[in-house]
Structure 1
Amino acid sequence: MAITFSQNVFERICTSATNSTAEVYDMIAPHLDDTLQSINRVLLGDMADKLDSVPGLESAVVKLVCLRTYQEQIPQLDLVLTPTGFGVVSNQNLAPASADRVKNLLQQVTNSAEDAYDRCLELLVGTDWADTAQARINIPNLIYTARQLKMYVEFPSEDVHRSKLVECRSRMYQAEEKLRQHVSAEFFDHILEQTRHNAYTKEETAMADYMCKFIGFCIAKDWAAAKDMLERIENYAEAKAETFTAYKNSEAYKVKHFQTYQNEKDDSTYFWG
């Protein structure tokens, strides 16, 4: 389906660009379609033609496109602060907005754009999108939105948005590799796949929460809490092995439960020693 943009829609989303004339929108508009195509490639994939199949997705994508385009174009615009918002300097009698004001505006718009991206992800999980390459690219970890990151890691002095999630990604991979070593790559990959499909069972919901807590402790470098949580994860996997078939069928499980040969007297190959 085709998305159409207008000054009214753009200014409703990017309120700081509200102006009695169309100065800002006219400079932004030529770039909106390029941004949309980029988002189609990186995020939406085939879902770009089925936005109306997911309630709220089209409006979320429109918001993301407007904010992302505004974010990318702010450094190129010669902005002036007006009573209604930021406009474009159009004559020598208008003083450009201060560098600090423009910097603060750019940060606010960036934060909003990142939150809009996360909202699109939340709407896409559990749909046909979950089986696409875009799903694997955008949800490579169990914690995949800033909202989740704030749930599992305390950042007392920071406003947390998607850029912080990206910053923490290397620690996430390290923590998840430890989980793979302890409860098998097969089982971890199954939980991650269930995350993309939004299809946890009751037991998987608890396990995913334990895993995210472990990852959060690793990000925060709370190694004592991480060690305790890893032990809980292993114990829970063992207790629910009949339910967690991906774990029970894994090589890691077989190695843990391998029984060495028992030398019995009644055995025809009994060995003295």
Structure 2
Amino acid sequence: MDLKTEITKTVFETYVPAAKMPERNTSVFERLEASFQTAYFMMVRNLVSPEFETAIDNNANLKSLAIPLVCIDGFVRTCRTLDLVLTATGFGIVSTESTAPASKSRVDALIEELSIQELDLIDEMIQELIKVDGWGQTEQAKNNIPTFFYRPQQLKTLCGKVLTTQAWQFAKGCAVTASALLCNEISNEYMDELLEKLRTGSTNNADIIIIDKSLRFMADFISNYEQTKGCPNEAMLRQIVHQLESYRDSYPTYCSSKLYASRHAERYKNKKEDPTFFFM
């Protein structure tokens, strides 16, 4: 993607209206051009994957998301070093000794607002990348979909919490713990398969049932983490196991797992001639 062609002052100010300046004043935009390059590089390295960089230009939906993401991320990365001042039209750069920079709280609020927009744009890009053949096998796919609970909006829709960057970071940490607990119930093998199917958009109806039940468990775990001190809802875990055990033909990977073999191992039966009896 040719950034100089795609990201003009007008385009940038469309996605970051707080930085809008009079037409002839290009001070903010010009000081951000190098930051746009960094933002684009990080987007490709951490999200898209260098292997699939061409997909940005070849996929109109991806490109329409990548441009605002680069604009916003470029601004967020740099705005603290710009000596911003709040003007009638937005945030400009301090240009006289008599003008004081905007307060830290105002800049923090702006950064938080834009960071939430970034999270939503990244989420939308992930949904598009899932449709790109091969992306689901990349390290970027694994890093961006590490658990079932990988979409920021899940914090609102499933947990009923306000989405903030801090709350999202906390939720992601809890989700990793919850995912480990789920592995103990559905098996490592089936968890790996489900995550790969999520990353490639190939889940079937039986998978979706387990993912939905697992997401409800994860949302409960995250929502009540501080009150329960990280104790899981055992009843919700039993419901997931009950689904797997009741419809075994629909879950062949689970049924061929070490966990399944352990659960269904035949217990030793004492015989009359045994010199010692074992009670289990």
Compute the TM-score of the two structures, normalised by the length of structure 2.
0.86
Q: For residue 234 of structure 2, what is the amino acid of its counterpart?
A: K
Q: For residue 199 of structure 1, what is the amino acid of its counterpart?
A: S
Match of 1:267 in 2: none
Match of 2:71 in 1: 66
Match of 2:142 in 1: 136
Answering whether residue 33 of structure 2 is matched by residue 32 of structure 1, we say no
Q: For residue 135 of structure 1, what is the amino acid of its counterpart?
A: A
Calculate the aligned-residue CA RMSD, in Å. Answer: 2.2
CA contact under 8 A between 1:89 and 1:96: conserved in structure 2? yes
Q: For residue 247 of structure 1, what is the amino acid of its counterpart?
A: Y
SS of the residue aligned with 1:81? strand
Question: Where do 5+ consecutive residues of structure 1 fail to align?
Answer: 264-269
Answering whether residue 82 of structure 2 is matched by residue 77 of structure 1, we say yes
Count of residues paired in the alignment:
264
C-alpha change, 1:52 and 1:225, in structure 2 (3 Å) is same
C-alpha change, 1:209 and 1:186, in structure 2 (3 Å) is same
CA distance in 2, matches of 1:170, 1:99: 28
CA contact under 8 A between 2:57 and 2:63: conserved in structure 1? yes
The aligned runs of 1:224-263 (5 Å cut-off) are: 226-260=233-267
C-alpha change, 1:167 and 1:52, in structure 2 (3 Å) is same
For each residue in 1:24-52, what CA deviation from the matched residue of structure 2 results, as whole angstroms up to 9, or x when unmatched? 11111122111111111111112221114
Q: For residue 38 of structure 1, what is the amino acid of its counterpart?
A: M
For each residue in 1:97-151, what CA deviation from the matched residue of structure 2 results, as whole angstroms up to 9, or x when unmatched? 3333223222222222222222222222232211101101111111111112222
Comparing 72-81 and 111-120, the one that deviates more: 111-120
Match of 1:18 in 2: 20
The aligned runs of 1:146-225 (5 Å cut-off) are: 146-155=152-161, 159-161=162-164, 163-221=166-224
CA contact under 8 A between 2:158 and 2:219: conserved in structure 1? yes
2:10 to 8, 15, 26: 8
Question: Where do 5+ consecutive residues of structure 2 fail to align?
Answer: 275-280
Answering whether residue 145 of structure 2 is matched by residue 108 of structure 1, we say no
CA contact under 8 A between 1:145 and 1:162: conserved in structure 2? no
